[in-house]
Every structure is written in C-alpha cells, then in structure tokens.
Amino acid sequence: AYSPGDRSPRAESERFRCFAYDESIARDKANLDITWLRDESLDDAASLLSQGVLDAEIVEELEAALAQTAESAASLPGEGDDSAETLLDS
C-alpha cells in the first residue's frame, strides 16, 4: 500500500515488489515500462457505459450528496439562517 513516509518498512505484496535495477536490466529484452494488472471483468468494451451516462450518474450522486449536506447543515443548532437552502438553490 502507498505510504508517503519512509519506504524501508514497506512489505512486498502481489502488486508491489522491489526489483534491483541491475537484475532488471540484465534480463533479455529488458523493459522498464510500467504496466498495470488487467481487470478481467472489463474484457468486453461493449459492456462499458458511455461517457454521457457516467457523467449523468456522477451529477446525480453529487446532487444527492449536496442535498444531504444541506439537510445536515440545517439541523445544526444555532444555524437559523437560510444557508442550507442557498446551497440547494445554486
């Protein structure tokens, strides 16, 4: 897992492994390009949603989150102003 601090305590895993430069470059057809593990569930490109559908789903989720945040803000004690409604109107 990612850790911004000291790298020495990091442990190897299936997705992260340390390779010595000398060992890597000594291999036949050495290639230092990084590749990602393939997601086997995404083999069929036809099953992917269009960008427009993805955008609409994102907007729907953000609007729901904004409404929940406005409801929470309105229920806070001492919050008598209409700032929560202002969030929903914008």
pLDDT of residue 13: 82
Quick one: average pLDDT of 52-72? 96
pLDDT tens-digit map of 13-59:
877 777 788 888 888 888 777 777 677 766 666 677 888 999 999 99
Give the C-alpha separation, 18 to 10, whole Å. 10
Domain count, the chain: 1
Residue 66 lies in a domain: yes
pTM of the full structure: 0.40
Residue 12 lies in a domain: no
* Structural domain harbouring 75: 50-90
Residue 84 lies in a domain: yes
Percent of the chain that is helix, strand, coil (3-state, to 5): 50, 0, 50
Indicate the pLDDT class of residue 83, thresholds 50, 70 and 90.
low
Residue 87 lies in a domain: yes
Quick one: average pLDDT of 63-84? 82
pLDDT of residue 19: 79
- Residue 25: phi and psi, rounded to 5, are -75, -20
Residue 22 lies in a domain: no
Residue 81 lies in a domain: yes
Residue 55 lies in a domain: yes
Residue 61 lies in a domain: yes
**Where would I find the H helices in the chain?**
21-26, 51-74, 83-89
